[in-house]
Amino acid sequence: MASIGGERMHCELEGLDCPVCAQKIEDALNKELGRNEVRVNFPTATIRVPEQHIERARQVIARIEPGVRIRCPEDRGPERNGDAGVFRRHHLRVGLAVLAFAAGWLPRLVTALPAAWGTALFLLAFALAGYPVIAAALRGIGQKHVFDENVLMTLATVGALALGEYPEAAAVMVFFSVGETLQAAAVGKSRSAITSLMALRPESAHLLRDGVDKVVAVEDVSPGDLIAVYPGERIPLDGVITSGETSLDTSALTGESNPRPATIGDEVHAGSINGGGALQVRVIRGHDQSAVARILDLVQNAVERRAPVERFLTRFARWYTPGVVAVAGAVAILPPLLIAEQTFSTWIYRALVLLVISCPCALVVSVPLGYFAGIGLASRNGILVKGADVLDSLVFVRTVAMDKTGTLTDGRFAIRGIETEEGFTEDDILELAARAESRSNHPIAEAILRSAPNRVNDSGALEEIPGRGILLHLRDHRIAVGNPRLMEAEGIAVRSGGNTEVFVAVDGSLAGKIVLGETARAESRATLADLRAMGIERIVLLTGDVEQPTAKLAKSLGIEDYFWGLLPEDKVTHVENLRRGSNEPVLFAGDGINDAPVLAAADVGVALGGLGSDAALEAADLVIMEDRLERIPTALRIARLTRKRVLQNTAGALGLKAVFLTLAVLGLTGIWAAVFADVGVTILAVINSASLLRAGVSGRARKDLRTA
Ligand code: ADP
Ligand code: MG
């Protein structure tokens, strides 16, 4: 994926309802600007352009796709009404075309009416429905896009007119434009279902200043300000509760439906709903830094990472259409020349049917939409997927590697005991350890800080060594707090027992150790069983901890493959070894502490508890918002379901095409049926893709999610 610079803007593209147009705009702009800087996103109807090029982009788009308008964040305005006008005119035109088409049949039924009226009405219907298509085809030819679907339709219908098949020509254009209208509606609907996520952020907040409560825009609230959140309201900004207690509904953010109690001192996130009493919250992040803002940003970018199938389709469409035109040409010319008693008019007609059927609409519309819906479904389940390509890799995962602490265990260590050497008390050991751990966010540090007699601040220089521990330089002393590997590096021989232990050494000699224990997550066993049942063949535990506690945990969970004593970079090596010899992607799941490198190195890096850690959000491909391990199988199911829908659509569309192409060449079908089938399969495919979003919500689809 190309790196995306900071000064690029995300703008909306209004009226973007065909993916081929999206690709055309992207290609044209990248050619014009000379670099690979522009991304057009069909499912979200957005474009990313460098800010200084927006005017150029506007002009280029106006030239190649006059129906599409670019709207950037600052140019909100009254123009929207203008678009509604365009929309109404479009519907009116299509409606009139349908009427004229229907009326065209009257003279055939009522013999008293002159036949010429029928022809005139069919021509009227043709012109009303077809003029945008023909205009686009001419523009396409002007731009040297000789082979797009508009050109196909125009060729086919003008050909039909030349053969005197007026009803046929009108039917093609009328069905095509009705189909496009329905399709645009379906696309628009699923788009808004997914982007409704964006509505999670309230736009205003109750700012408390000098005891007065004033409603202001979230942009005007800064970190440090105090805001009020009343019962039933959405929390507008990330902050810490300073008064009141409540139960929070975080379902929109994390997919977790159980309310969570929160009270003074707890952090709350923008987007959750205050289900209890009135709160006062000290804001800790600006509105564009909030967790939900970052999530939305990631989702926006997610759609820009295309799945291999999508990339294939784009290339496929470039070759496919010219190929079909060539075949149609051959069908029109060769049989009459080579076979006796075959007329040109019969074979030209068959070639025209072929042209109509060949439109790859169903595929190019439904496939990106399917991935988009899959990403949307995942985010409804509290799973952030960073790209369509990630969904695809997930499908092929057969090897899962996991971190221990915070992933298979609940990430809360308890102190089981403290052992001291001559001259040190238990409190000394705890205090030294707490000083060293005062700035670490490792679960071990949390446990020690929880138990420390009083909150100590470090009064020296700290150095955290990932996977080993901490060095503290306190006055003239060198204090090492960490595992046997750290002690080894300090030249101290230690014996480790059967537990996770933190050794404390002062100036090169051992002062004592803290013995810790952690418990497996309640859901670990069931999740692992679920993964195995889904066809995951190998589950591997990778940890930086010592052997015995690792072995104990692995045994209790039924994991046979486990590796211990690993530094973060050793985990990377292990993941690479797991992949060796096969092309199957490897999934690594971790809590994001000390495992950013391996999250990035794995084909699918899964970070748990994403609302907490920035590094994990950055490095992972998939972020599970709530700290829930069982969302990993859910993510696999969503990926499989998405791919199933995409394949269904592809197979359905291609199969139907194959059938109709054969029928067309044999002369068994007319243009009518061809268009009808094409429009029908497109709409079915769009609905099939979009309905993914509802999976897991309705009863039947929930079953899909379980059995996919
Ligand atoms: P895991 O792979 O189990 O998540 P980590 O890679 O985070 O473990 O850490 C591996 C080991 O390094 C821990 O078991 C611990 O012994 C030691 N360690 C890491 N960070 C710290 C710390 N802040 N304080 C003490 N020990 C630490
Ligand atoms: Mg860890």
User: 271 is in which domain, residue-wise?
Assistant: 204-289
Q: Is 139 among the domain residues?
A: no
Q: Is 574 in the pocket of ligand 1 (CB under 6 A)?
A: no
Would you name the residues annotated as active-site residues? 403
CB 336 within 8 A of CB 126: no
Rounded to 10°, the helix 149-162/115-142 angle is 150
Looking at residue 244, the DSSP 8-state letter turns out to be -
Q: Is 272 among the domain residues?
A: yes
Give 148's contacts (C-beta < 8 A, 6+ positions apart).
20, 24, 136, 137, 140, 321
Q: Is 325 in the pocket of ligand 1 (CB under 6 A)?
A: no
**Highest mean pLDDT: which range of 131-145, 456-470, 581-595:** 581-595
Mutate to test the pocket of ligand 1, among 429, 437, 487, 545 (most ligand atoms within 8 A of CB): 545
d(CA 547, ligand 2 centre) in Å? 15
CATH of the domain at 434: 3.40.1110.10
Q: What is the mean pLDDT of residues 323-339?
A: 87
Q: Is 60 among the domain residues?
A: yes
Q: Is 28 among the domain residues?
A: yes
Which domain-ending residue is among 254, 289, 324?
289
Q: Are residues 531 and 632 in the same domain?
A: yes
Q: Are residues 491 and 557 in the same domain?
A: no
Q: Is 499 in the pocket of ligand 1 (CB under 6 A)?
A: no
How many structural domains does the chain have? 4
Q: Is 550 in the pocket of ligand 1 (CB under 6 A)?
A: no
Lowest mean pLDDT among 34-48, 162-176, 219-233: 34-48
CATH of the domain at 239: 2.70.150.10
Q: Is 256 among the domain residues?
A: yes
Q: How confident is the model at residue 194 (pLDDT cuts 50, 70, 90)?
A: low
Lowest mean pLDDT among 267-281, 450-464, 498-512, 569-583: 450-464
CB 406 within 8 A of CB 606: no
In angstroms, rounded to a whole number, what is the distance separating the alpha carbons of residues 522 and 677?
Answer: 52
The token pair that represents 15 in the structure block: 């009226």
Q: Are residues 541 and 453 in the same domain?
A: no
Is 291 a residue whose pLDDT tops 90? no
Closest residue by Cα to residue 64 from 173, 147, 137, 172? 137
Q: Is 470 in the pocket of ligand 1 (CB under 6 A)?
A: yes
Q: Are residues 537 and 501 in the same domain?
A: no
d(CA 595, ligand 2 centre) in Å? 6
Q: Are residues 281 and 259 in the same domain?
A: yes
Task: Write the pLDDT tens digit of every residue in 85-132.
Answer: 666 778 889 999 999 999 988 888 888 788 888 899 999 999 999 988
Which domain-ending residue is among 613, 638, 663?
638
Nearest ligand 1 atom, CA 567: 6
Residues in the chain, overall count: 708
Q: Is 549 among the domain residues?
A: yes
Q: What is the mean pLDDT of residues 320-331?
A: 83
Q: How confident is the model at residue 573 (pLDDT cuts 50, 70, 90)?
A: very high
Q: Is 65 among the domain residues?
A: yes
CB 197 within 8 A of CB 253: no
- Given this model, what pLDDT does residue 418 score? 94
Give 279's contacts (C-beta < 8 A, 6+ positions apart).
228, 229, 241, 243, 244, 245, 246, 268
State the pTM of this model: 0.78
